[in-house]
Amino acid sequence: MLPVEEAYWLSDAWREKNLRYYPWHGRGFVQLTWKANYQKASAKIGVDLIGDPSRAMEPDAAAQILVHGMIGGWFTGKKLADYIDGARVDFVGARAIVNGKDKAAEIAAIATAYLAALPEDQGSIWLRIFKAFWGIITGKKQ
């Protein structure tokens, strides 16, 4: 999976003319937008996204923005732990972490399919990765 750029099929000249938040248009796994969000992410991950906003397309930077932004509630104030914890998984509600309710059911269906595809075998690499990610989210080791 690679990060994507908003309206990637259109020219930069089109984005400059049509996007009111240019050059801070959507980039990365969460489509980071607006200068204030680029500034916040830049300070948090230590990558100069203000001097070069295209660096949000670097896979490592995009992943850090995704993970830390969802855990910390950078985008809307909603956090991953508000919707997913040991007792519940609310993928529809979790859409509010990034972008309100836009395509919430569609994205929830994708997340449910990913979750169902994870092996239940205790020795699987996917389960270990999920547990490590869960530890980051909750601050608890699994």
pLDDT digits (tens, 9 = 90+) for 65-114: 988 998 899 999 999 889 987 678 898 999 999 888 888 899 888 888 87
Q: How confident is the model at residue 134 (pLDDT cuts 50, 70, 90)?
A: low
- The structure tokens listed for 32 are 């980071």
How high is the pLDDT of residue 113?
Answer: 82
User: Average of pLDDT values for 111-130?
Assistant: 66
* CA neighbor of 91 nearest in space, from 78, 69, 76, 106: 106
* CA neighbor of 95 nearest in space, from 85, 80, 112: 80
Instruction: Report the C-alpha gap between 38 and 6 in whole angstroms.
Output: 15
pTM: predicted TM-score of the whole model, two decimal places: 0.75
How high is the pLDDT of residue 142?
Answer: 47
Domain ranges of the chain: 1-75, 79-142
Q: What are the pLDDT digits (tens) for 15-33?
A: 888 888 889 989 998 899 9
User: Average of pLDDT values for 114-141?
Assistant: 60
Q: What are the pLDDT digits (tens) for 25-61?
A: 899 988 999 999 999 999 999 999 999 999 999 988 9
Instruction: Report the C-alpha gap between 15 and 101 in whole angstroms.
Output: 24
